Amino acid sequence: MPDQLLSTADQSMLDLAVQEAGKSLQEKGIPVGAALAHDGALLASGHNERIQSGDPIAHGEMSCLRNAGRRPSYRDTTLYTTLSPCPMCTGAILLFQIPRVVIGECETYAGDIGFLRSRGVEVLLAGDERCVSMMREFQRRHAEAWSEDIGGR
């Protein structure tokens, strides 16, 4: 269930993250996408590339941050992700002091939204059915790859 309705700018950025997740799925990868924005303007986007590149840390959020390149500060950005962040991606959010995260869904993987919130991150949960549908289908078809992506949980 969504926390609240997203603004038009937030929905637009989440739509970009969903497009990135779709790219990963088309590449036979894990359908997680992310986008990083400042004042409603896209800075970078990316998608999970673990399977495609053989890179164990190429989660959607990590690929997005890599594509953003160096920044003196992330304190004025919002990260949009199709799936609740794993512990590694949560750590990156906290390390770079990203103050706001919009999450597409947390039904297929809960992550630890409470931990982000307890550390002062504003978290909005969109409850986006596109995100749920893509991930459920992937988990059903590729359970072993999904288990590998989240550390065998």
Place of tokens 């990203």: 98
The number of beta carbons lying within 10 Å of the beta carbon of residue 122 is 13
Model confidence at 152, pLDDT cuts 50, 70, 90, reads: low
Give the pairing type, strands 100-105 and 78-83: parallel
Question: Does the structure show a pLDDT above 70 at 144?
Answer: yes
Which pLDDT score is estimated for 3?
Answer: 63
Contacts of 38 (CB under 8 A, 6+ apart): 76, 77, 78
* pLDDT grade for 145, boundaries at 50, 70 and 90: confident
pLDDT at 151: 62
- Residue 45's DSSP bridge partners are 35
Sign of the alpha-carbon dihedral angle for 75, 77, 78, 83: negative
- Please say whether the dihedral angle defined by the alpha carbons of residues 77, 127, 47 and 50, taken in this order, is positive or negative: positive
CA-CA distance, 131 to 83, in Å (whole number)? 7
What percent of the chain shows pLDDT beyond 90? 86
Q: Say how far apart CA 48 and CA 114 lie, in whole Å.
A: 23
- The pLDDT of residue 27 is above 90: yes
102-124 pLDDT, tens digit each: 999 999 999 999 999 999 999 99
pLDDT digits (tens, 9 = 90+) for 51-84: 999 999 999 999 999 999 999 999 999 999 999 9
CA 97, chain centre distance (Å):
16
What are the residue numbers of the active site? 61
**Tokens describing residue 60:** 């959607």
Instruction: Give me the sheet containing 41-47, strands edge to edge.
Output: 41-47, 33-38, 78-83, 100-105, 122-125
